[in-house]
């Protein structure tokens, strides 16, 4: 299976119909999670072992688009703040990986213990924390544990069957439908920080491309080739190139 690490789709419109269906799946997840949490009387607050410090990977194109939809609804200042934090997280995790040491860095969407894109958060962010069951096709039933905070507060309480299987199956079916329509292969493997960085890069390149087109059609008789137009990028007729030191 092809693994796509950094998808950037600046010119691809939002797949609205698919995202509406994904929203319905997410709403069903949230309802079931709430029922399980109420059974255990578990509240995800005051947690010292913050899951926002955990490096979770997300694997569906539709979750990428869903997060992008939420990000694009933010104001310019908030977008810039989150993008700067995402770039910092990516740098810190890359340095740690080079040294082969573990790292726990706060998610760039965490703003004073609140998620800046809470309604648009990926699946694992919605379902983490409470013990669950998962039945993958052709495999044995998996019993997943709760988080450390759950174990401290609720480990002695009666078990509640929190089955993730229907949600995984629905998401897999929807993702496959979308990839077939969009002509995509493989899956992604990205943290939220990497998603935000990719979204920011795609938006910058789309805006810059439009700016270049305007400059070429203004009728001033001036070529844009080789001119530095934005920090880190320059416009050329046939390709993008990274800005190099001169």
- ∠ CA 72-78-83, nearest 5°, is 75
pLDDT higher than 60, residue 113: yes
DSSP β-ladder status, 187-188 and 3-4? parallel
The crossing angle, in degrees rounded to 10, of helices 165-182 and 16-40 is 170
What percentage of the chain has pLDDT greater than the value 90? 66
The pLDDT-based confidence of 185 (bands split at 50, 70, 90) is: confident
DSSP β-ladder status, 110-111 and 142-144? unpaired
What pLDDT shows up at residue 9? 53
| Residue 148 is assigned to a structural domain of this protein | yes
Tokens 């009728």 sit at which residue?
219
Domain that holds residue 108: 3-205
pLDDT digits (tens, 9 = 90+) for 44-99: 876 766 789 999 999 999 999 999 999 999 999 999 999 999 999 999 999 999 99
| Residue 193 is assigned to a structural domain of this protein | yes
| Residue 74 is assigned to a structural domain of this protein | yes
| Residue 236 is assigned to a structural domain of this protein | no
Domain count, the chain: 1
| Residue 44 is assigned to a structural domain of this protein | yes
| Residue 235 is assigned to a structural domain of this protein | no
pTM over 0.95: no
Cα–Cα distance between 86 and 52 in angstroms, integer?
A: 13
DSSP 59-84: --HHHHHHHHHHHHTS-HHHHHHHHH
What pLDDT shows up at residue 209? 54
Q: Which element (helix H / strand E) includes 213?
A: helix 192-216
| Residue 211 is assigned to a structural domain of this protein | no
What pLDDT shows up at residue 28? 98
| Residue 93 is assigned to a structural domain of this protein | yes
What pLDDT shows up at residue 86? 97
């Amino acid at each position: 299976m092809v693994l796509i690490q950094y998808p950037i789709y600046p010119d691809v419109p939002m797949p609205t119909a698919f995202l509406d269906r994904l929203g319905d799946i997410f709403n069903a997840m949230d309802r079931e999670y709430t029922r399980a949490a109420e059974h255990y009387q578990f509240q995800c607050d005051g947690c010292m072992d913050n899951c926002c410090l955990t490096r979770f990977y997300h694997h569906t194109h539709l979750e990428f688009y869903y997060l992008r939809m939420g990000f694009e609804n933010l104001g310019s200042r908030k977008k810039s703040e989150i993008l700067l934090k995402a770039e910092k997280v990516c740098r810190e995790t890359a340095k740690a990986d080079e040294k082969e040491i573990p790292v726990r860095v706060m998610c760039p969407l965490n703003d004073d213990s609140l998620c800046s894109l809470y309604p648009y958060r990926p699946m694992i962010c919605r379902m983490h924390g409470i013990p669950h069951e998962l039945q993958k096709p052709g495999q044995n039933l998996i019993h997943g544990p709760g988080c450390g905070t759950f174990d401290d507060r609720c480990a002695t309480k009666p078990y509640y069957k929190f089955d993730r299987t229907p949600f995984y199956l629905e998401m897999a079916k929807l993702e496959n439908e979308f990839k077939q329509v969009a002509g995509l292969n493989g899956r992604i493997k990205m943290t939220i920080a990497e998603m935000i960085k990719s979204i920011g890069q795609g938006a910058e390149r789309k805006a810059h491309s439009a700016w270049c087109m305007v400059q070429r059609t203004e009728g001033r008789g001036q070529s844009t080739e080789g001119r530095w137009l934005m920090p880190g990028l320059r416009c050329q007729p046939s390709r993008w190139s990274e800005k190099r030191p001169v």
